[in-house]
Structure 1
């Protein structure tokens, strides 16, 4: 049977769905370039996880014949203590990606829609489509605004109607890197009708330095329909283990537990995440290195006449003012991997993860060779 024959048997939302696009076949590129490859497309931590996390992974290897804790109790307890919440407010996921998909699956459908910003994370529309839920995309902040292409909370609020059930926000934003102040989020939440749940994706929270942006976790006691998601893939350097979590009201978490897959977080992941969470010194060192390199790289890219969006993350969205494909191809030919943005409707842009100084210098050399 042909793929279309099986597609006809699938649920309506799935028929319109396209697989998540990672940008490049990174495995093939690793085989081609080996140790010379500079990976600046996945917003990963170039310094790797805490040494404590590495030790925890090795210790966990002796237990691989056993299932992991299905409740993730130790990690939940550590997170609850770190964040100042109750363990019953925490939902663990196989990365935050899994949770972002499941919120739509649990609460949305043909009569319960999703609202997101124009340049929101690519998983949000996938979640809406998979749930066969109407998707409304609000326009982003316009050119000339300091946070150009970032979330326009007024436009998002105007897009909410009686059929809206879920709003996805990303703060700081992926793929743009911009942010909106906590005071603006508070006003936005207060303006919403009661049936609307709001997911604030804080995948890059560890990198935030500006005082006007505090975690949405502080607003949870006031807004019971608020959900905050985070991940260990970015600041904590555990992207390969896929560990994420959400914090929400216990009643909402209880509903999601009905949907959660059994043993959805693996045993080394649970152990490594708990150990990484305890190593505040390593996280602080990495965040400081990221800040230094972000400022250094931003300055040099702007000196070349390129538009670099403001960022409170571990990446930069760079606008070349023309089709970015030739620059992408020139970098790839030299073993430097950026993230193309055509899938986001930004063909003139590349998203560039912050690497080490030597990796960032390789990037600049590659751009110079391409005429940028």
Structure 2
């Protein structure tokens, strides 16, 4: 039997793969999670596991629809962002379709396109769809809403699909979100993972036209959002207002960290979110190993096509100070 091989992409938060990490205290700067997540009461022990979740997730979709100013049939849900990305590709692409996946962005777009039989390319000409991460990972840059709206109009005119990933928008400026914009050719992805710092609770949702949403929902495996994730999502949506505090604290620490790195002669990409892309004075894989010996784990960005860069999360002030102290021992004299 012959199998089709598709490369897996790398992700941050891989402390379990670090030799001796169970015996060593590591500070994980490779995971770009909210260091100041909303705080609220939620008790998973009260969830019933003796029955299946509602596979339609009707109540949850109504909750999301109220927040996004959309209708429930314009909402789909999934077991994290990646499940929705994969389902979108299967629903929207034909075998052999070219899909624009810009360089230096989230690796799962290209992998998902390939899984659906499409071809990821880096040029717009003749593409059936485009992936657009805003704010972008790993650069931390945000394209203003007026320019995103222009991109939406371009895809409407061309009759091609636009997939906008707003996984980090709550950590930047939610006013820049386009989830409230209705377009037959635009689909917007959101996630709880980064904003609420819950990578173990796999939950994402998407907003699009009813026809595309229905196709994605048909592809989604039954009950893929488990009872715990569904319950947590309801609680999280009731506490979105706390993100104002998160954004303020993140901005303060991001400014501090970027300033300290710049003072050390390092080039830092301007960022609006909770992570920074840093040009390394040595190959990033080597810098990663040096920092690891100091108990600091960073994200080597070679898998993003940036072998001379590493990405660091913005964490608490004390943790950021610890990172800087470790970095000082690793920088070339």
Check whether TM > 0.5. yes
Aligned to 1:238: 198
Report whether the alignment pairs 1:345 with 2:310.
no
Report whether the alignment pairs 1:160 with 2:88.
no
Contact 1:56 1:268 in 2 (8 A): no
Structure 1 residue 136, shift from structure 2 partner: 1.1
Contact 2:68 2:180 in 1 (8 A): no
After the TM superposition, which of the residue ranges 169-178 and 281-290 deviates more from structure 2? 281-290
Aligned to 1:172: 135
When residues 35 and 205 of structure 1 are mapped into structure 2, their CA distance, relative to the original with a 3 A threshold, is farther
Q: For 1:22-101, what aligned pairs fall within 5 Å after superposition?
A: 22-23=11-12, 25-29=14-18, 32=21, 36-48=25-37, 50-52=39-41, 55-60=42-47, 63-101=48-86
Contact 1:120 1:173 in 2 (8 A): yes
CA distance in 1 between counterparts of 2:19 and 2:190 reads 28
CA distance in 1 between counterparts of 2:65 and 2:250 reads 27
Q: SS in structure 1 opposite 2:176?
A: coil
CA distance in 1 between counterparts of 2:14 and 2:148 reads 37
Contact 1:48 1:238 in 2 (8 A): no
Contact 1:232 1:238 in 2 (8 A): yes
Aligned to 1:219: 181
Describe the superposition over 1:300-352 as per-residue Cα deviations: whole angstroms up to 9, x where unpaired.
Answer: 11111111111122111111244122221111112211111111111110011
Aligned to 1:154: none
How many residue pairs align between the two structures? 331
Structure 1 residue 87, shift from structure 2 partner: 1.1
CA distance in 2 between counterparts of 1:58 and 1:364 reads 40
CA distance in 1 between counterparts of 2:319 and 2:34 reads 12
- Structure 1: where are the runs of 5+ without partners? 1-5, 139-158
Report whether the alignment pairs 1:251 with 2:211.
yes
Structure 1 residue 272, shift from structure 2 partner: 0.7
CA distance in 2 between counterparts of 1:181 and 1:363 reads 31
Aligned to 1:329: 289
Contact 2:171 2:243 in 1 (8 A): no
Report whether the alignment pairs 1:200 with 2:187.
no
C-alpha RMSD over aligned residues: 2.0
CA distance in 1 between counterparts of 2:180 and 2:50 reads 40
Contact 2:69 2:180 in 1 (8 A): no
Contact 1:112 1:133 in 2 (8 A): yes
Describe the superposition over 1:188-223 as per-residue Cα deviations: whole angstroms up to 9, x where unpaired.
Answer: 22223543110000000102249xx71122332xx2
Aligned to 1:145: none
When residues 296 and 46 of structure 1 are mapped into structure 2, their CA distance, relative to the original with a 3 A threshold, is same
Contact 2:91 2:212 in 1 (8 A): no
CA distance in 2 between counterparts of 1:328 and 1:295 reads 22
Q: SS in structure 1 opposite 2:138?
A: coil
**Alignment partner for residue 267 of structure 1, among 213, 220, 227?**
227
Aligned to 1:20: 9
When residues 27 and 367 of structure 1 are mapped into structure 2, their CA distance, relative to the original with a 3 A threshold, is same
CA distance in 2 between counterparts of 1:341 and 1:59 reads 41
Report whether the alignment pairs 1:183 with 2:146.
yes
Describe the superposition over 1:127-174 as per-residue Cα deviations: whole angstroms up to 9, x where unpaired.
Answer: 111112122114xxxxxxxxxxxxxxxxxxxx231xx22210001101
- Structure 2: where are the runs of 5+ without partners? none
Aligned to 2:188: 228
Q: TM-score, normalised by structure 2?
A: 0.93
When residues 131 and 179 of structure 1 are mapped into structure 2, their CA distance, relative to the original with a 3 A threshold, is same
